[in-house]
Structure 1
Amino acid sequence: MGKVFDRTPCPDCPYQAFSDADLGAHTAHAHPSGVVAEPFVVQALPPVVEEPSPQAEPVSVVESPPVHPALSVPQADDTFWVSDKTVRLLHAVGRISQRGEVVNVLLVGPKGTGKTSLPKEFAATQGRPFFTMHCQLVAERDDWWGSKELSLERGTYFDKAAFLDAVEMPGCVILLDEVNRTHPENLNALFGLLDHRRSAWVPLLKREVVVAEGVTFFMTLNEGYEYVGTNPLDEALRDRMSFAIPMGYPPKRVEKNILMRRTGLPEETADKLAELAKVVRRDTKLGVTISTRQLLSASSLIQEGMASHDAVLFAVVNGAGQDVDRKGLLQALQMLGKVEDGFAAEDDDDEFDQPVGGVSP
């Protein structure tokens, strides 16, 4: 049975244990003689200086700040949940990383199951810097590292990407989010970083980029025909993943507690929403699932005074795709109250004649 992260801080280092037993195992491994382990230190990276070319103007490099704004140790979310098996794996990944090894973890599963949140929570419990690389924004191979820019004040200069800082920062946790939404050729630049070489020659920088000690890569992707704009993941890249974690929706009891703790929803209402999600997920004929993210959106509307069934209409039903059994979904929604129509646009016109936000039409 899964559980919400309960953390016990180590008195000698930033590590936060998942349980008393975990703390004991960590202490025995990291502090066997009572010696305080040195935590990962976030350091500024030296600038990359390019040799001036006789055919071109000299290229200067943007000086990195002591800690890049995009690289920081995140705050832990005490409502985040993963299964016990996943907790044990993450504990092992943390131990491997503490030995200075680089680990690659693939996260798979349906939408709204916490794939993007898990690496951030891992970094928070480990007290390590975290960086998200939005792979869907990578249009060209060199976008991983930075770009040459031109301005009147500075002339031609190199603007270094935060991803480069993250790769070269000891102990950094890096999330490669939605990795199959960039063109597959752009992913070729990552192969050397993710295999035994742990390095890549970057022509734009005219130097080799080496993955720092203890860096942990997490990779997320959504696979399936319903995810438009995605590409099949290269099997050579998939093979470079050390471990794979299948992410699923939490049990009803846990999901109810998440809704209550994050939004302040009453227990009875939270229980009904969690039960609705459970029923819809089990009925494969409906062609749709309700994610925890959607339940949280509906809960926010309910907390603003909207009826439960109307909140779910706006958060789930109205935005469902064309292949969804809308009639069956509306029938399942009856457990929250009477539902007359699944489309807000088909409600009585009088309802939409009222001023919105105090502004008359």
Structure 2
Amino acid sequence: MADELHLIAALERNIASAILGKPEAIHLSLVALLSGGHLLVEDAPGVGKTSLAKAIARSLACDFKRLQFTPDMLPSDILGSNVFLPNRGEFEFRPGPIFTNVLLADEINRTTPRTQSALLEAMSEGQVTIEGETHTLPDPFFVLATQNPFEFEGTYPLPENQLDRFMICIEIGYPSREIEKNVLINHREGEPGEKLGSVITTEQLRRLQSAARAVKVEDSLNDYILEIVDATRNHEQLHLGVSTRGAITLYRAVQGLALIEGRQYAVTDDIKRLVLPVLAHRIVVKGILHEGRRDRANSVLKQILSKTPVPN
């Protein structure tokens, strides 16, 4: 356990050296990474979404690729395609950028739903199917996606089935005045994230992910998770509750958080801490207006948490 905690601490310190004043965002990002999930960072332009994603990617000694999503992007630009070779009289598969360990999907909601859907199979099953042939992706495979708020120009809201593939959705927010001053100083000689070196190898990351899956979750905590999930399905303010995939995702995230906190067992507070970042983007609040949808989802989940009995 000591070795795992040393690796996690080194990873967290490395990222924090480039992303100042956002310890909770870094913490939750690592929960998604170590739990084998995917991360969605949603916020206004210029607050550090891409910087956080790049800092995480550069801290890992893994294969890393970045995709800037645009309205004219096609699924083949992500997955790859079969190319005909005239000299050999046959087709050869040319893998796309998705064949990597860490994929930064920058501004994912600036491309069309058709192209967004190219990521569904990859994020769920670690493979892609092209013209009937299945290709396995590298292990580990981690998608770090950023998106601008949907009301911004040129955005396509991510459909519910796409959002459901992300383990955690976070916002970064504006820093405090003091932190922002330090950010200016930190950028005096360029982008700090560009100078980051890797602190964890691919094999060490796999070991951490295995350690997270070994974290014990008592049966009473499983019931607590299911009580919360069931409450979302029967809440009068919700049009869509949490799916079974969402319940499994919360379970795995709880294991990851417990490991990061230095425990080989989960506690009730792990669940409470993760309910909003893991479940808020999976539920749909009733009403025709989308403004403040995430805020209203958070409000409903807080209400559910306050009414759900905590296991002894």
| TM-score between both structures, scaled by the size of structure 2 | 0.51
Which SS does the other structure have where 1:230 is aligned?
coil
Selected match of 1:255 from 176, 180, 193: 180
8 Å CA contact 1:16, 1:125 repeated in 2:
no
CA 1:179–1:90 in 2, change beyond 3 Å: closer, same or farther? closer
Flag structure 1 segments of 5+ consecutive residues without an equivalent.
1-8, 20-74, 97-101, 167-171, 266-361
- How many angstroms does 1:183 deviate by? 1.4
Selected match of 2:126 from 177, 190, 198: 198
- Partners of 2:71 and 2:10 lie apart in 1 by 33
Matches within 5 A, 1:241-280: 241-263=166-188
CA 1:228–1:251 in 2, change beyond 3 Å: closer, same or farther? same
Selected match of 2:28 from 83, 89, 94: 89
Matches within 5 A, 1:139-288: 139-147=73-81, 158=92, 160-166=94-100, 172-195=101-124, 197-203=125-131, 206-225=132-151, 227-263=152-188
- Partners of 1:95 and 1:152 lie apart in 2 by 45
Q: Which runs of 4+ in 1 moved over 3 A?
A: 12-15, 75-79, 147-159
CA 1:76–1:152 in 2, change beyond 3 Å: closer, same or farther? farther
Query: Residue 250 of structure 1 aligns to which amino acid in structure 2?
Result: P
8 Å CA contact 1:138, 1:186 repeated in 2:
no
User: Comparing both structures, which one devotes a greater share of its residues to helix?
Assistant: 2
Deviations 1:179-205 (A, max 9, x none): 11111122222211222x3333211xx
Query: Residue 120 of structure 2 aligns to which amino acid in structure 1?
Result: F
CA 1:134–1:242 in 2, change beyond 3 Å: closer, same or farther? same
8 Å CA contact 1:104, 1:216 repeated in 2:
yes
- How many angstroms does 1:14 deviate by? 10
- Partners of 1:90 and 1:198 lie apart in 2 by 19
- How many angstroms does 1:164 deviate by? 3.8
Q: Does 1:18 align with 2:2?
A: no
Deviations 1:241-289 (A, max 9, x none): 1111111122111111111232279xxxxxxxxxxxxxxxxxxxxxxxx
- How many angstroms does 1:121 deviate by? 0.6
Which SS does the other structure have where 1:219 is aligned?
strand
Matches within 5 A, 1:29-178: 78-96=17-35, 102-136=36-70, 139-147=73-81, 158=92, 160-166=94-100, 172-178=101-107
- Partners of 1:114 and 1:245 lie apart in 2 by 12
8 Å CA contact 2:64, 2:102 repeated in 1:
yes
Match of 1:72 in 2: none
Query: Residue 133 of structure 1 aligns to which amino acid in structure 2?
Result: L
Query: Residue 236 of structure 1 aligns to which amino acid in structure 2?
Result: N
Deviations 1:50-109 (A, max 9, x none): xxxxxxxxxxxxxxxxxxxxxxxxx9793422522123223333433xxxxx31111001
CA 1:160–1:86 in 2, change beyond 3 Å: closer, same or farther? same
Flag structure 2 segments of 5+ consecutive residues without an equivalent.
191-312
Name the count of aligned residue pairs: 188
- Partners of 1:155 and 1:116 lie apart in 2 by 43
Which SS does the other structure have where 2:173 is aligned?
coil
Deviations 1:292-349 (A, max 9, x none): xxxxxxxxxxxxxxxxxxxxxxxxxxxxxxxxxxxxxxxxxxxxxxxxxxxxxxxxxx
Which SS does the other structure have where 1:18 is aligned?
helix
Match of 2:265 in 1: none
Which SS does the other structure have where 2:183 is aligned?
helix
Which SS does the other structure have where 1:81 is aligned?
coil
- Partners of 1:147 and 1:94 lie apart in 2 by 28
- How many angstroms does 1:176 deviate by? 1.2
Greater C-alpha radius of gyration? 1
8 Å CA contact 1:184, 1:233 repeated in 2:
yes
- How many angstroms does 1:160 deviate by? 2.2
Which SS does the other structure have where 1:116 is aligned?
helix
- Partners of 2:78 and 2:189 lie apart in 1 by 41
8 Å CA contact 2:126, 2:141 repeated in 1:
no
**% of aligned pairs identical?**
23
Query: Residue 130 of structure 2 aligns to which amino acid in structure 1?
Result: V
The alignment's C-alpha RMSD in Å is: 3.4
